[in-house]
Amino acid sequence: MQKFLSNQNKLFLIFTIIILQVFFLKPIQVLADLPTGNAVKDPNAILRNALPIKQVELQEIQHKLEETSDLVRGGRWPALTKTVTKCQSLLKKYQGRIIKDLPNDKKKIAEKTFLELKENFDSLQEHSKAKNKYSFVTTRKEALDKIGGIEEYFLPNQFPYDIPEEFDDLPRLLGRAKVNIKTSKGEMKAIVDGFNAPLTAGAFVDLSSKNFYKDLPINRAEEFFVLQTGDPIGEAIGYIDPDTNEERHVPLEIRIPGEKETFYNQTFEDLGLYTETPTLPFATLGTLGWSHSSTAVDDGSSQFFFFLYEAELNPAGRNLIDGRNAAFGYVIEGFDVLEELTKDDTIISIDVLDGIENLKLNA
């Protein structure tokens, strides 16, 4: 069984990070796609922020609307009303500019979506004044989904990042895919992000399409930390490529906001980035992570884990896994199922619902 971080290493890393942060480190300035402020913990928001686009006006509206999350949670209705008013103002200010930048075949669709978005914002204002928390949250999700849909229109036609030639034989996911994860406790849905982890996501989707994970047990369970699976029945601990009869290995790959290319087989420690946050952070319940051994970062093969986010033990942006393991997606539905899973449970199947066309078996 692959264990990506031993207990001894965990304690040592915690101590080292605390010492470095307190005495030595200064913040490293880099360009970032993530909004400033508190760490983002909503998987859908993380996925929106991780899109390889630079439509700053639309993203400003998105980030301003996302700011209402803490306000509605705290019942700060006057501030909430003011923030929604700002969103309405930004929409009016930027709508024409955003539509002008869109491909011609998307302009009409976007115009219709913006009309619907205006109605959403008007409803949010009403819900805020009525202090209707449930309706506000529901309508905000609808609005953010619409914004995310428009943002996808700005995706580049070609895959935006280079993958080193040494990995040409490995499958890659050149976009995103949606999967259904059926377990002995119920079903979950997840988005797998090939934009920011193409080889890891490619390996996962490739194995899922081969029914590799069918009936595999949860082989590791650590409360408030991880649930791990993907260890095949038998002596092998990973996927054996039938063409080579050897275990297929996937390199560690991590993207950092503002960096031109993806880092391969280098941890944040190797790079000297002790306080950095990756584009796909381990910041929320149900983050999908790729496992590797405790002695190497390039020997992950098939085993992956669900990150069990616990705010006090694994604070977003300051946990033990960012920069040491690759995140490659997020559970977006079925969190109640995930929280019930234990080492006694089984992955019954993983089926690719959308995005299989983005899977390429090699370069």
pLDDT over 70 (residue 13): no
Q: With beta carbons less than 8 A apart as the criterion, state whether 61 and 94 touch.
A: yes
**pLDDT attached to residue 317:** 58
Query: Is 334 domain-assigned?
Result: yes
pTM of the entire structure? 0.86
> Which amino acid makes up residue 277?
T
**Residues 213-239 pLDDT 10s:** 999 999 999 888 899 999 999 999 999
Any residues with CB less than 8 A from the CB of 12 and at least 6 apart, and which?
none
353 pLDDT band, cuts 50/70/90, is: very high
Q: With beta carbons less than 8 A apart as the criterion, state whether 293 and 231 touch.
A: no
Looking at the chain, the whole-number percentage of residues with pLDDT higher than 90 is: 81
Q: Is 165 exposed, middle or buried (0-12, 13-18, 19+ CB in 10 A)?
A: exposed
Q: Do 69 and 175 have their domain in common?
A: no
Q: Do 70 and 202 have their domain in common?
A: no
38 pLDDT band, cuts 50/70/90, is: very low
Q: Do 174 and 313 have their domain in common?
A: yes
Total domains, the chain: 2
Mean pLDDT of 15-38: 37
Give how far Cα 301 sits from Cα of 17, 85, 255, 297, 308, Å.
Answer: 29, 49, 20, 11, 21
* Domain range for 58: 53-152
Q: Do 110 and 76 have their domain in common?
A: yes
Q: Do 79 and 192 have their domain in common?
A: no
- CATH number of the domain at 83, please: 1.20.120.290
Query: Is 28 domain-assigned?
Result: no
Specify the DSSP element, H or E, that contains 143: helix 133-152
**Alpha-carbon gap, residue 159 to 197, rounded angstroms:** 12
**pLDDT attached to residue 97:** 96
- CATH number of the domain at 248, please: 2.40.100.10
**Alpha-carbon gap, residue 28 to 20, rounded angstroms:** 13
Give how far Cα 202 sits from Cα of 90, 171, 250, 261, Å.
Answer: 38, 5, 10, 18
Of the candidates 120, 152, 184, which is a domain's last residue?
152
Q: Kindly provide the residue ranges of all beta strands, DSSP E only, lying in 231-297, ordered along the sequence.
A: 240-241, 246-247, 253-254, 263-264, 287-290
